[in-house]
Amino acid sequence: MAFPQDIDALTKAFSGFGVDENAIIWILGKWYPEQRRSFRKGCSQFFWEDERLFERWDDNHIAFLEREFLRFKNAMVLWILHPWERDARMAKEALKNREYDILIEIACTRSSEELLGTRRAYHSLFDHSIEEDVAYSVHDNNRNLLVALVSSYRYEGPKVNEEIAKKEAKTLWEAFKNVNKNPIEDGEVVRIITTRSKLHLKSVFNHYKVVSGKNIEEDLEEDSSLKDAIQCLSSPKAYFSRILDIAMMGGADEKHKEALTRIIVTQADAYMKEIAEEYLQQYGVSLSQKIEETTKGNYKDFLLTLVSRGV
């Protein structure tokens, strides 16, 4: 008979982000067949009685465990890849799954040289340009914005023309208050968001607040590509903190869970210090503590190692 404390520990080891490999090895390694059978019979959340008189592991939970075991492996693979190849492969997968927020994240939070490198890697890996694949694959009103974003090579110098920034702030405001047209379909909106330097856009958004009396994000629909792009461009640390918090909420879906790996791995050498500071300020708990509470095993240890690099 398996001890109740072992069953409890094993159940916890099989739950959450990643699995607690040490707990699984320590418990299962010492169990005899009868103990393993009593575990199967006593864990209806994992197993059910087959008509042929054996305890059958639920298919959905097997798939769940396979994903959890893979989290550490996937994190390691992403970490080892050249950043250009990593972003190119993520972009390809994002297009396949219509996860446009990931494309926006790559296009808007990388430097111009990094994004150019991603385009080169994409071309080499897939024998297409990322621009043509986005244009071919996206069929809704996100197409023009996404093609322009992945094609962008922004000026990264210190110069900003304040008069132009004021005019463009007014252009955005007028487009956003036009109830007859989605701003993502406005060519001038797309031009401003996809071509101007991040420093210039910061000035545009400041002037927008003067013109409209609101922060620009308040005038955009939730979960819109345009809003994601603006937040990635204007405050990547706030964007990443928000996505990380969603990823670590109870009941997060698989898409959001995967964001935890993606963001920690891709930002460990970039914005991690700023992200950790923003996360603490916004949610009242350190990013490391939240990871400690919500993840398990080698996966948890690896994420904590990456977070500590920039903090």
Q: Which domains does the chain have, with CATH numbers?
A: 4-57 (no CATH), 235-311 (1.10.220.10)
Residue 203 is predicted with a pLDDT of 98
Give the whole-number percent of the chain exceeding pLDDT 70: 98
> Can you tell me the mean pLDDT for 53-59?
79
Q: Is the pLDDT of residue 79 over 90?
A: yes
Residue 48 is predicted with a pLDDT of 79
Q: Round to whole Å and give the CA distance between 57 and 122.
A: 40
Round the average pLDDT of the chain to a whole number and report it: 91
162's CB contacts (< 8 A; 6+ apart) are 203
Q: Which two tokens stand for residue 217?
A: 């994000």
Q: How confident is the model at residue 26 (pLDDT cuts 50, 70, 90)?
A: confident
165-192 burial, b for 16+ CB within 10 Å, e for fewer?
A: bbebbbbbbebbeeeeeebbebeebbeb
Exposed/middle/buried for 158, CB within 10 Å: 0-12, 13-18, 19+? exposed
Q: Round to whole Å and give the CA distance between 236 and 238.
A: 5
> Can you tell me the mean pLDDT for 103-117?
97
Q: Which segments are annotated as binding site?
A: 14, 16, 18, 251, 295
Residue 3 is predicted with a pLDDT of 66
Q: Which segments are annotated as binding site for Ca(2+)?
A: 14, 16, 18, 251, 295
* Residue 57 identity: W
Dihedral in degrees, nearest 10, Cα atoms 115, 119, 121, 126: 150
Give the other-Cβ count within 10 Å of 33's Cβ. 7
* Residue 45 identity: Q
How confident is the model over 229-272, as pLDDT tens digits?
Answer: 999 999 999 999 999 999 999 888 889 999 999 999 999 998 99
How confident is the model over 113-129, as pLDDT tens digits?
Answer: 999 999 999 999 999 99
How confident is the model over 142-158, as pLDDT tens digits?
Answer: 999 999 999 999 999 99
Q: What is the 3-state secondary structure (H, E, C) of 192-221?
A: HHHHCCHHHHHHHHHHHHHHHCCCHHHHCC
Report whether 225 contacts 183 (CB < 8 A).
no
Residue 208 is predicted with a pLDDT of 97
Give Cα separations from 157 to 111, 196, 198 (angstroms).
12, 11, 9
